[in-house]
Amino acid sequence: MMAAGKKKPEEKNARPPGSERSMRDAAEKQRARVPKNYPGVKGPTTERLVHELQNHLNEIETITEDILKSSESRYRRFFEAVRDGILILDAESGTILDVNPFLIELLGFTHEQFLGKKLWEIGVFKDIAASKDNFKELQEKKYIRFENLPLETADGRQIYSEFVSFVYDVEDKKVMQCNIRDITERKKGEEVLKSSESRYRRFFEAVRDGILIIDAETGTILDVNPFLIELLGFTHEQFLGKKIWEIGVFKDIAASKDNFKELQEKKYIHFENLPLETADGKRIYAEFVSFVYDVEDKTVMQCNIRDITERKRAEVALKESETYLKTIFNSAQTGLLIIDPVTHSIYDVNPAALELLGRTKNELVGTTCHQFICPAERGKCPITDLGQKIDNSERILLIADGERIPILKTVVPIIIQDHSYLLESFVDITDRKLMEAEIRSLNAVLEQRVIERTSQLNASLEDKIVLLREVHHRVKNNLQIIISLFNLQSRYIEDENTRQVFRESQNRVRAMSLVHEKLYQSTDITKIDLENYIRYLGNSLVQFYGMTGKGIILNTRIQDINVDINTAIPVGLIINELISNSLKHAFPDGKKGEISLTIQRENTILTILFADTGVGIPADLDWCNAESMGLRLVIMLVEQLDGTIELDRSSGTMFTIVVKEKE
């Protein structure tokens, strides 16, 4: 076939079987069968018959041409107007002969991109006829149908189509017609429906309410969700296919087929507290809702069953609680008023309050609470600003005979039947006031005695502090004498190693002496400022070893830490040994560097980070078992303080020491 829009004479080539040419040929053959001189017919009769026959044939030919033209016109209008895509192929070669406008519009290709091409040369049909060999399968099957064939349009969109291909004869040629129907929207609708059904099924199976689906005409149970099975303790099979009145648990709803008709007629039924009995005989309470709706061509009844047993128990417990609280309210020995926070009117009052006020319940309920408060005290009432706060205050109460008595009043917000109220309780504190006055008198006498005794103790304490300072001073002096003795003795020692031992011992004694000196100078004789002490000790050692001005920098970073003498002395000795060791060994041949010391405190734990940038401790030295007196003393003092010590030799020397303060 040729495309629409060509000249009419050329359109005849696309006519289906039974075209004008075949009909004309048949007529010519029929005319040839009639002889010009038919035996037994004489004269003009034969010519007349032939002439009439020729006229009839001409009329038939004219009518046939009109019918064919009309048929061709109707076919072309259908071909161009139908809302399905149509592709006409040469069934032998696979060449595309014609394509209707709808398919061009659907796929977005031009008329020229189709005509004259092989089917397998059109990329959009690659899943149907990817090659000439695959096309043979279409030729052999004569009829092929694809229900959900994916096609890609010219702009890259994917659509789904229903594809039908069949072969038939047109004149002396076999053609293949491919009908392509766009089912993308239907496909989406099916997917939406499947998704909707999937969501419904997930909801049906996961919802924490029981659901029963029933045929509304027959009462047959069609489906039941897992929660209802779990709730009632029956199996799935015990429900399905049964009539609702055959399930004993629902006997109060539909005990018979006649009762079920009531459910059918009402369309919607709601039971708030329906008793049900489970498979194991346990009684539960449920909220039961039944309603009718149509699903496809069937009317179903859905029954939603919510377990409200706990809520029912809570309601019973609430009623019991209200009764219990009412009993407490009426039997309490403290006066109680329930007050409207907006109008300040009394909503209820207990017997104890009636007795204290000297009035009846009828006299109090409905009146404002302010009339029972002393006029001088009314302005202090915070009742309007109370909110969620609690008011505890003392007030003066006016009772029936005009007497004024002191009370302790407490006001708290409460909720009664979804309404906000204030609960005011008050007790007579007359006796307590008298006792407080007596206590104040006794307190005044005691306070005077305490002042006198405190003065005496302060005088004694000053004496003890002076004495303790003197002790520290004398200990410091005695240690200085020992240092001097070490100094004198070392002058008579010729061996340099022995003299060095004396000097190191002298430094250790100086470290201890410095503690007593700092305590003697401190305003608090029980604590020593660790930062001041360590800095002074470090500078003394730098000076002692003659390192002043030789490029050795001592940096200390210590928090505001104060410790007692039991901790200060071992910590001071540890720092003394570490700094001495660095000054003696870390910086040989005039090497410059830095010694840093950081002490941090958390609760009673001290962390000491000591490092130098010197040559470091040799890798082959077992420092934990060193013969050096200094390192052995450090390890011993750390153990004495229940601590740990670690060495890092990766860059110079770095000790991490964690110790606990002595109590």
From 428, 452, 484, give the residue that closes a domain. 428
Identify whether residues 143 and 47 lie together within a single domain.
Answer: no
Identify whether residues 164 and 259 lie together within a single domain.
Answer: no
> Is the residue at 372 inside a domain?
yes
Identify whether residues 265 and 214 lie together within a single domain.
Answer: yes
**Mean pLDDT in the chain?**
76
Quote the DSSP letter at residue 268.
E
Contact 364, 344 (CB under 8 A): no
Give start and end residues of each alpha helix (H) in 249-347.
257-266, 309-331
**Between β-strands 552-558 and 593-602, what pairing exists: parallel, antiparallel or unpaired?**
parallel
CA angle 56–60–62, rounded 5-degree value: 115
The segment with the largest mean pLDDT, out of 243-257, 371-385, 446-460, is 446-460
Identify whether residues 541 and 645 lie together within a single domain.
Answer: yes
pLDDT tens, residue by residue, 42-98: 455 666 666 677 776 767 667 666 666 666 777 778 888 788 888 888 888 888 888
Identify whether residues 113 and 88 lie together within a single domain.
Answer: yes
pLDDT tens, residue by residue, 181-214: 888 888 777 777 777 777 777 777 778 888 888 8
Q: Which pLDDT band, with edges at 50, 70 and 90, does 478 fall under?
A: low
Quote the DSSP letter at residue 2.
P
Please give the average per-residue pLDDT across 411-427, as a whole number.
Answer: 83
Residue 100: pLDDT above 80? yes
Among candidate residues 519, 586, 600, 513, the one with its CA nearest the CA of residue 556: 600
DSSP string, 227-242: HHHHHH---STTTTT-
pLDDT tens, residue by residue, 264-322: 777 788 878 878 888 888 888 888 888 888 887 788 888 888 888 888 888 888 888 88
Identify whether residues 43 and 56 lie together within a single domain.
Answer: yes
> Is the residue at 162 inside a domain?
yes
Identify whether residues 183 and 271 lie together within a single domain.
Answer: no
pLDDT at 8: 35
pLDDT at 322: 80
The residue ranking higher by pLDDT, 78 or 260, is 78
> Is the residue at 198 inside a domain?
no
Residue 519: pLDDT above 70? no
pLDDT at 358: 83
Q: Is 433 helix (H, G, I), strand (E, B) or coil?
A: helix
From 126, 156, 188, give the residue that closes a domain. 188
Contact 388, 382 (CB under 8 A): no
> Is the residue at 500 inside a domain?
no
pLDDT tens, residue by residue, 551-566: 888 888 887 888 887 8
pLDDT at 459: 63
**What count of other Cβ atoms lies within 10 Å of the Cβ of residue 540?**
16
Identify whether residues 67 and 117 lie together within a single domain.
Answer: no
pLDDT at 20: 46
Among candidate residues 659, 656, 505, 465, the one with its CA nearest the CA of residue 567: 659
Looking at the 3D structure of the chain, how many domains does it have?
A: 5
Q: Which domain holds residue 417?
A: 332-428
Identify whether residues 587 and 540 lie together within a single domain.
Answer: yes
Identify whether residues 89 and 63 lie together within a single domain.
Answer: no
**What count of other Cβ atoms lies within 10 Å of the Cβ of residue 663?**
7
Give start and end residues of each alpha helix (H) in 492-609.
496-521, 530-544, 565-585
pLDDT at 255: 45
Please give the average per-residue pLDDT across 124-132, as a whole number.
Answer: 58
d(CA 141, CA 223): 45
Among candidate residues 239, 249, 245, 240, the one with its CA nearest the CA of residue 261: 245
Lowest mean pLDDT among 21-25, 58-62, 322-326, 600-604: 21-25
Residue 337: pLDDT above 70? yes
pLDDT at 4: 37
Identify whether residues 559 and 652 lie together within a single domain.
Answer: yes
From 412, 428, 444, give the residue that closes a domain. 428
Q: Which pLDDT band, with edges at 50, 70 and 90, does 13 fall under?
A: very low
